[in-house]
Each structure stands twice: as structure tokens, then as C-alpha cells.
Amino acid sequence: MDQYSYLANADVSAIESLYQQFKENPESVDESWRNFFKGFEFSETWKSDGATNAVTDKSNEHVRKEIEVVHLIRGIRARGHMAAKINPLWPERKHNPSLDLEDFKLSEADLDTVFEAGIEVLGRPATLREINDTLRKVYLGPIGFEYQYIRDRKIKGWFRRKIEAEYINFKPSPEQQKRILKKLNEAAAFENFLHTKYLGKKRFSIEGGESTIPALDAAILKGAELGVEEVVIGMAHRGRLNVLTNIMQKPYEQIFNEFEENIEEEEYSDGDVKYHMGYTSQVLTPAGKRVSLKLMSNPSHLEAVDPVVLGYARARADGHFESHGRKINDFDDIYDKILPIIIHGDASLAGQGIAYEIAQMSNLKGYYVGGAIHFIINNQVGFTTDNDDARSSLYCSDVAKILDTPIFHVNGDDPEAVVYAMQLAIEFRQEFNKDVFIDMICYRKYGHNEADEPKFTQPAMYKYINKHKNPRDVYLQKLKDQGEDNIGLAKQLKASFDSNLQELLAKVKQRQLPYEVPKLERDWQELRKSKKEDFLVSPETGIDKDAIAIIGEALSNIPKGFKAIKQITKVLAERKSIFAGEKEFNWAAAELMAFGSILNDGKWLRMTGQDVQRGTFSHRHAVLHDTTTNETYSNLEHIKEGQGKLELYNSLLSEYAVMGFEYGYALANPNALVIWEAQFGDFANGAQTMIDQFISAAESKWKTQNGLVLLLPHGYEGQGPEHSNARPERFLQLSAEYNMYVCACTTPANFFHMLRRQLALPFRKPCVHMSPKSMLRHPGAISKMEDFLPGTKFQETYGDDYADPKKVKRVLLCSGKIYFDLLEKQQADKRTDVAILRVEQLHPFPKQQVTDLLASYPQKVQTIWVQEEPQNMGAWSFILREFPEIGISDLIARKKSASPATGYTKYHQQGQTNIINKAFDLTNKENI
């Protein structure tokens, strides 16, 4: 009865206009409307005859009721979830969904009347009783289905058929029931054991939400049945230890060791609390399918792991991908192999903006993963905060609605319903490759952690919880009520768990499958941990002339018939002369050559960020647009057959999620150069969690390496407080134990080598680069062809060939763009008594190289650090703190400031001139 759906929506004027249309041409309206209007006209004719008025009134009334039954159907479908029995604690919901017969001007007296509208639900005319009962069974049971807002009729229809025709008859087989019970039992027994053995220790127990375990088990089983080969899971603290053991198969004794803290201290490895640790394993399903499982390590920062899971999943899917297809949905079979599951808390999903960012990513071609399963352990409280204070939306999952995707609210005390919801979610994801959300409403048996007293803040709730049976016992009771004989089995399982844990531990160990290393993980095995010595000099990363010629050819040409705008024709001509050796390399040419060379080596390049295809400052032009068709052409994709895969996407306007996604991508694939570029470096602070919790600390916490590159445009050019400073001081404060590179290249060739070094090293390190803006076009920021050739490598420092060592009285040490301002003054005033040294890599600080350079000057020379950032920013405090022994006596910089830069060009210019003048004024000691 789809045809009636618009009747319920339509307003009177719409029906009126449809009627006019019918009068003009009956065939032009839908059949149902045609019949409706025919009936209406028929009754109108009868009206004129007084004798038949009674009949007419009757049929009019029936038509009215037909319409109301349609309204009822739509009402239950749309608002049934508001009355569904989804809350194990408060069966009475507080919403008024207005779904009583009276709300539709129907009554009990109509229950046995047959309505045409029954076709819509049961495929035939049916009594109101049948219609009503059927719908209430589907929509007001233990699952509240939300999907009526979905605008794609195909998806909506599919989903409706599934639940109205299939869910209504859902009955798990005895085998399934046993499996559910077994999983619940494992979940409950594990927590019980920890509770007794490690009383009061934080474990963020899953109790109250045990159905998570059969749900995840069902996801793996159903997923494997539908083609999933790998499952990537991200989750926070709640229930994590349980997932690690009972889903990931992490041996119990490893967990116990972590409780006992039987862990050896290691250099450069501080470790993390046990409920943040990741794990990798493989399981065999009863149907004989091997599935790889990965639980991401994650920090305490809730939801931060979400985009990391997605980026990882994307890289794993790309790993199966051999050609250069770019359209989404063309290769869904590949995405079907990798299933990302993100487990949320109710308060964090509702409150953390990153949830919205990842939702917006989900169908963009740069971030598409074929849909993620979102599973919410909704224990109806966040730490001590009630729902009423935690969100304005009705449900914590409302963000999902922007995706036109279904949401299942399911009662956590009904594991069969939870398992059904998960199975249907998987089916939906494999069918439509869209995200889908399961909101499992449960409770938290203890406080936020086991040492917390929840009655301080939720006394009433905990009165219920303390009396409430756990989901396993609820399920047992249900099975018993159904006459099933599973109680014995449950008792037996629990007894064996309690009495002989040691035996069980051994069994679990045996159960672990020997690990078959998947494709991209093999690439990681070729790498090793870094050593101190690795940072003394950089590896050679030059390329030969033939490679430059091949790549240069691709970068300088466009296909016949492709019409580029005039400026691009010029850009291409310039590239041609650079790559032919007629002109020196500018920044763009060096960058493209680095990218091209990586692709030419068969490795992958993935770069995203806002407007990266053209480049914020219009230097890159890595993707060209045809002036008439707007078709795109990327030169980098046309270097040679069998080259590496290129992914170059303009990102959505997000920093946090996008940087996280790229971090996840780089985590999965060590042979891809993965780059995130900020529009202006300052905007990276929107992703500070990714920088603090993942990029700088992950290797120390989780022993995971990552080669992600951040390009952060930085430099004082009078563009105001938010377009000047990428905050190098913050990265330098985070720098220790060789955790990441922090660089500020001043030559195109050095930038080329810095990028290539990322994949040339036998290990992976994040690299943060203070990138140029005006320097992109600075006439001095150029490099010769020979600086790219074999034997060349990244230069941690540059010395000064102009100053005369014998005459030098002052050495200026600097980093980044200010070098060119200093150079200009030095050259203009012919100051051979002042040397300028450049530190191109700030961390790991090239102490030896700097010391060697300083050694060529007289001992008494003044050594001054010069920076354009205010004194309380930039590299100064890092240099002063970390390397006092290199003898830098003083600083020339802008005055200490609250804001990074002035908003006035005039004052900016004054400040800059001041710094430069002071740097060369050997008499001036003030404010140095």
C-alpha cells in the first residue's frame, strides 16, 4: 500500500490538486488515487438522492477510516520506536507517540472491520486487529526501528520488507540460542572472576551490557557468511577487557599479567593501561571461514579512535585493490571484505563532535569504507551525568539520521533481539554499503569504574539496578519459560569456568589460530624499530636522471583534447623546462617530483586535506580541470604502467577526523606515503587530540609505528593571528625519545628528500613540517637538478658559504622562512661578519651537525637564535631547554605575546624589520 503513503503526508490542497488532475485525465494519477477519486465521485452522485444518503454516509465514513488506518500504519512505523520495549530498567517509556486507536479516530469497534490498507502490511485486505497486532509486534517489541526518514525508497522498502516480513517471524535456532548463551556466559564469568580476584581494580566491566559479546560474535559470523574477511574494531574502555578475551581471543593470562603489572620496563616504551591496548588475531567460524580481527589501541579520549578505525579499514580495502578506479560504489565487493565496527558510549557519541565529522565522511570518495557498523553500549549514564544533561536529542544516536540510514534501538536484556539487530545491520551494510547504528540500551552494574559509588548521583537508578537480574540470567529465565533445556548447559559452563580456570586458560590458548599474516602486515614485518644511530645522518634519497625524465614527462603533459586554462598551460611549460634542467626547481616542482618518484617506485601516495588538489596557495595543481567538461586529469596518475596507487582528495572541512583517518591509513600501510596538509598550519589545533594522543605518543604507548606526514603552512607574513603560526613550539614540546621528525625546510630539494626519507627508512616515524606559504614562490627558494640526483640526501642543517669564518663575529641560527629575510639583509649590506646557519630539522635535533658548523667560527663568536615567532613561541624554548651545551647565548624574536601575530600588516612589517635589524646590529644588546 505504498500508494497510500502520500495520502498520509499530503495536505488538503495537495489532494485537491491531485483531484483536478484526475478530472482532466484519470490515467495521469496513480491507480490507488484513481480508485479513491472514483469512489468519491460515486458517493457524491448518490448524495443527490435523499434515499441513498444513509449508504453514502456509511461509505464516506469507511473511506475516512481507510485513510486513518493508513495514518495508523505510518504512525506505528514512524513512531513505534518511542513505545518499543527497549529499556531494561524503565519498561514504561516517557514519550507519547500517539499511537492509540483513538489518536486516529478509530475505536475498538473497528477492530474486526476489513480494510484495504491491510495490503500494505500483510499483502491483502485485513482487519484492523490483524494490521494493528502485526505492526505492534514488529515495532513495539524489544527493537525500536527508526528508518522512516530514509529518503532512498529502495533502501527504505528493503528495510521495511526485512522487518515486517522477516523479523516478525524471527526465531533463533537451538544452535544459535546455545551460542548466544555460551557467549553471555563467557562474558559474565570473566567479569565475575576479575571482580573476585581484582576487587576494586578498574576494569570498566561490561556488566549490564553483556549482550555486547554475543552481538560482536554474531557480527563476525554473519559478516564471514557475507564475505567479510577482516573486522576492524574501535572501542573505548567499557567492556574492552571482555572483548579482548572473548572476541579477540587474547589469552586470559596476558590480561592477568597486565593486572599484576608483570611487565618489563623498556627504553622508549612507556606502555598504556590495559583497557587501551589493541590486539590482532584470527578466528575460525563454525562454518570454517577464517576472519582476521583487529582491535585498535586507543587513548582515553572518547571517540578519537573512530576515524582511525575508518582510515585503517580504507587502507586494508585499498590493499585488495589493484587498479586505479576512483568512483565510489564501483568496487563494493572489495569493501565487503573489510568490516569496520565502532563501539560507542551513549554520552560520548552524543557529545563528541567527531561523531558528526565521521558521519559526514562516510560517503565521500576519499573516505569511503563501504559503511561502518556503529554499536552503542548505551548504559544510560555518562560517568555521573544523566541523559537529560548529556544531550538535547531524543536518542544518543540521532547524528546517524544525517546519513539516511537505519537505527536499531534494542533492549540489552534481550540478547536474541540484539543478535538479530546485529545480523540485520550486517546484511544491510553488505547490501547497501552504508553506515548503520545499533543502540543497545542497557545499564551499568557498578559506578563509572568499579571503585566509584554510583548512588552518590543516580540513587534511584541504582535501586533498580541492584535488584535487576543480569542479562544472562534474564535470558536463562526466558529459555526456561519457553521450555528449553539450556539451564543445565549454562550451569555446567559456569562451573567449569569457576572451578578450573587454569584448564580453561590452556584451552583458550590452544584455541588461538596460528596467525596468517595478511598482505599489508607483511610489509610491516620488513621494518624494524628505530635506533639512536639512525638519526645521526639521513639515508640517500636522490633519484637518477632517467627517473626525473620519465616523471617530468608525465608531470608536464596533458592528453590530447584536454583543454586547460591559460595559467595551467604556463605552469606545464614551466614544469617542462625545470625537468629538462633548463631552470632550477621551485617548491611545486620538487614536491611533485617527490610524489612522482614514490609512485614511480611502485609505492603509494595518499594525500588529503582541504583543497590539496590545487593547493591552498595555488602552487600544486596536481589535479587539472578541463575548461569545457570539467573532467579531471591528474598527471601523477600517468607516470608508467604498474606505478603505485595515487589517492589525492580534497577533504571535507574537518581537521580532527581527517587527520585521524590519515593516521589510521598510515597505520595499515607502511608503503604508502600518507600526507595530511592543513590549509593554514594553525588549523591543525582542531586535531590536537590526534597529535597528542596518537602521532607523538603511540609508539611509546602501543609500540605502533606510523609514517604520517603533516604539512603545516607556517610563517609570519602579515596575515593575522590565525594564518601565521603552526605552533612549532607545541610539536617540539611533544618531541622526545626520537618519537617524530619536526622539520622546516628552506629548499625545495630538502623538502623532496624529507618526503622520500619517510619511505626510505627501515622504520616509520611521523613527520611534521612547517611548510612554506610565500616561500613557495620566493626566488631564493630554488634548488639545482644536482641536489636531486643519486648520492644526495636530506640536509639536517645548512651552513653559510657567504660569511667569512675569519671575520665572523656573530652566528645567527634560525629555522624556516626568516632565513630569507636574514639572507637579504646580509647580502644587501655585504655582512660577511655575520653567518646564518639553518636548522632544517628541529627534532631529532642535529646536535652534531650544528656543533660541527659552529666549530668553523672563532670561539668567542656570539651565537644567537633568531625567530620570527614571539619569544614564548617558536623553537627557542626547546633549543634552550634541550641543548644548552651548544652555547646559543641569546634570542632575537618578537616580544612575548598572548596572540601569535598582529592583525595589522603595518605592525607586522615593523616587527619583522626590527628582528632583522637587531640580528645584524652587533652593538645592540637590548631585547636580545
Q: What whole-number distance in Å separates Cα of residue 703 and Cα of residue 795?
A: 28
Segment contacting ligand TPP (CB under 6 A): 377-385, 727-735, 809-817, 911-919? 377-385
Task: Indicate whether 343 belongs to the interface with ligand TPP (CB under 6 A).
Answer: no
Which residue among 229, 346, 521, 682 contacts ligand TPP (CB under 6 A)?
346
Segment contacting ligand TPP (CB under 6 A): 299-307, 496-504, 516-524, 535-543? 299-307
Task: Indicate whether 753 belongs to the interface with ligand TPP (CB under 6 A).
Answer: no
Which residue among 42, 383, 464, 904 contacts ligand TPP (CB under 6 A)?
383
- In sign, the C-alpha dihedral spanning 616, 619, 624, 626 is positive
Interface of this chain with ligand TPP, residues 405 to 444, rule: CB under 6 A: 444
Q: Which residues, listed in sequence order, are joined to residue 336 by a DSSP beta bridge?
A: none
Residues with Cβ within 8 Å of residue 490, at least 6 apart in sequence: 181, 185, 472, 476
Segment contacting ligand TPP (CB under 6 A): 342-350, 707-715, 744-752, 904-912? 342-350
State the nearest-atom distance from the C-beta of 688 to ligand TPP, in Å.
11
Task: Indicate whether 302 belongs to the interface with ligand TPP (CB under 6 A).
Answer: yes
Which residue among 75, 141, 345, 816 contacts ligand TPP (CB under 6 A)?
345
CB of 207 or CB of 346, closer to ligand TPP: 346
CB of 212 or CB of 867, closer to ligand TPP: 212
Segment contacting ligand TPP (CB under 6 A): 99-107, 381-389, 480-488, 849-857? 381-389
Greatest Cα-to-Cα distance within the chain, rounded to the nearest angstrom: 124
Q: In 306-395, which residue ranges form alpha helices assigned H by DSSP?
A: 306-319, 332-335, 346-351, 354-361, 387-390
Between the CA of residue 603 and those of 277, 633, 650, 704, what are the distances in Å? Answer: 30, 20, 21, 21
Per the rule left: phi > 0, alpha: psi between -120 and 50, beta: everything else, 163 is: alpha
Residue with cell 509486534: 137
What length does the chain have? 928
State the nearest-atom distance from the C-beta of 761 to ligand TPP, in Å.
33
Examine residue 459 and say whether the peptide bond preceding it is cis (omega within 30 degrees of 0): no
Contact mark string toward ligand TPP, 167..186, x via CB under 6 A = --------------------
Contact mark string toward ligand TPP, 792..821, x via CB under 6 A = ------------------------------
Measuring CA to CA, which residue among 609, 683, 681, 698 is closest to residue 308? Answer: 698
Task: Indicate whether 278 belongs to the interface with ligand TPP (CB under 6 A).
Answer: no
Measuring CA to CA, which residue among 167, 465, 523 is closest to residue 318? Answer: 523
State the nearest-atom distance from the C-beta of 448 to ligand TPP, in Å.
6
169, three cell numbers = 517471524
Between the CA of residue 274 and those of 250, 299, 846, 895, 905, what are the distances in Å? Answer: 12, 11, 36, 45, 52
Task: Indicate whether 567 belongs to the interface with ligand TPP (CB under 6 A).
Answer: no
Looking from the CA of 503 toward its CB, the CA atoms found within 13 Å total 7
CB of 302 or CB of 853, closer to ligand TPP: 302
Task: Indicate whether 373 belongs to the interface with ligand TPP (CB under 6 A).
Answer: no
Q: What whole-number distance in Å separates Cα of residue 704 and Cα of residue 663?
A: 11
Q: What whole-number distance in Å separates Cα of residue 800 and Cα of residue 142?
A: 75
- Buried/exposed 527-544: b ≥16 CB within 10 Å, e otherwise: eeebeeebbeebeebbbe
CB of 741 closer than 8 Å to CB of 556? no
DSSP 326-347: -STTS-HHHHTTEEEEEEEEHH
Segment contacting ligand TPP (CB under 6 A): 7-15, 341-349, 466-474, 583-591? 341-349
CB of 79 or CB of 238, closer to ligand TPP: 238
Segment contacting ligand TPP (CB under 6 A): 48-56, 75-83, 211-219, 300-308? 300-308
CB of 314 or CB of 448, closer to ligand TPP: 448
State the nearest-atom distance from the C-beta of 379 to ligand TPP, in Å.
5
CB of 213 closer than 8 Å to CB of 183? yes
State the nearest-atom distance from the C-beta of 397 to ligand TPP, in Å.
12
CB of 317 or CB of 347, closer to ligand TPP: 347
Which residue among 76, 140, 243, 377 contacts ligand TPP (CB under 6 A)?
377
Closest residue to bound ligand TPP by CB: 345
Task: Indicate whether 759 belongs to the interface with ligand TPP (CB under 6 A).
Answer: no
Measuring CA to CA, which residue among 222, 292, 255 is closest to residue 514? Answer: 292
State the nearest-atom distance from the C-beta of 426 to ligand TPP, in Å.
23
Q: What whole-number distance in Å separates Cα of residue 87 and Cα of residue 411?
A: 6
State the nearest-atom distance from the C-beta of 565 to ligand TPP, in Å.
45
- In sign, the C-alpha dihedral spanning 800, 801, 803, 808 is positive
CB of 347 or CB of 646, closer to ligand TPP: 347
Segment contacting ligand TPP (CB under 6 A): 166-174, 346-354, 362-370, 480-488? 346-354
- Residue 352's CB is within 10 A of a number of other CB atoms, namely 21
Which residue among 347, 624, 709, 853 contacts ligand TPP (CB under 6 A)?
347
**Cβ-count burial of 22 within 10 angstroms (0-12 exposed, 13-18 middle, 19+ buried)?**
buried
CB of 310 closer than 8 Å to CB of 367? yes
Segment contacting ligand TPP (CB under 6 A): 96-104, 294-302, 623-631, 740-748? 294-302
State the nearest-atom distance from the C-beta of 404 to ligand TPP, in Å.
25
Q: Cα-atom radius of gyration of the chain, to the nearest Å?
A: 33
What angle separates helix 487-499 from helix 174-197, to the nearest 10 degrees?
A: 30
Contact mark string toward ligand TPP, 444..473, x via CB under 6 A = x---x-------------------------
Q: What whole-number distance in Å separates Cα of residue 355 and Cα of residue 305?
A: 10
State the nearest-atom distance from the C-beta of 350 to ligand TPP, in Å.
8
Interface of this chain with ligand TPP, residues 609 to 648, rule: CB under 6 A: none
Q: What whole-number distance in Å separates Cα of residue 487 and Cα of residue 2?
A: 46
256, three cell numbers = 592477568
Which residue among 62, 289, 301, 494 contacts ligand TPP (CB under 6 A)?
301
Segment contacting ligand TPP (CB under 6 A): 343-351, 711-719, 725-733, 867-875? 343-351
Amino acid code (one letter) for 687? A
**Number of amino acids touching ligand TPP (CB under 6 A):** 15
Task: Using alpha carbons only, give the angle 751, 753, 754 rounded to the nearest 5 degrees.
Answer: 60
Which residue among 382, 660, 844, 874 contacts ligand TPP (CB under 6 A)?
382
Residue with cell 587513548: 299
Q: What whole-number distance in Å separates Cα of residue 627 and Cα of residue 566?
A: 10
CB of 212 or CB of 750, closer to ligand TPP: 212
CB of 345 or CB of 707, closer to ligand TPP: 345
Task: Indicate whether 245 belongs to the interface with ligand TPP (CB under 6 A).
Answer: no
Which residue among 17, 45, 96, 300 contacts ligand TPP (CB under 6 A)?
300
Task: Indicate whether 238 belongs to the interface with ligand TPP (CB under 6 A).
Answer: yes
Segment contacting ligand TPP (CB under 6 A): 22-30, 297-305, 665-673, 793-801? 297-305
Q: What whole-number distance in Å separates Cα of residue 186 and Cα of residue 189?
A: 5
CB of 347 or CB of 893, closer to ligand TPP: 347
State the nearest-atom distance from the C-beta of 431 to ligand TPP, in Å.
30
Where on the chain is the footprint of ligand TPP (CB under 6 A)? 238, 300-302, 345-348, 377, 379, 381-383, 444, 448
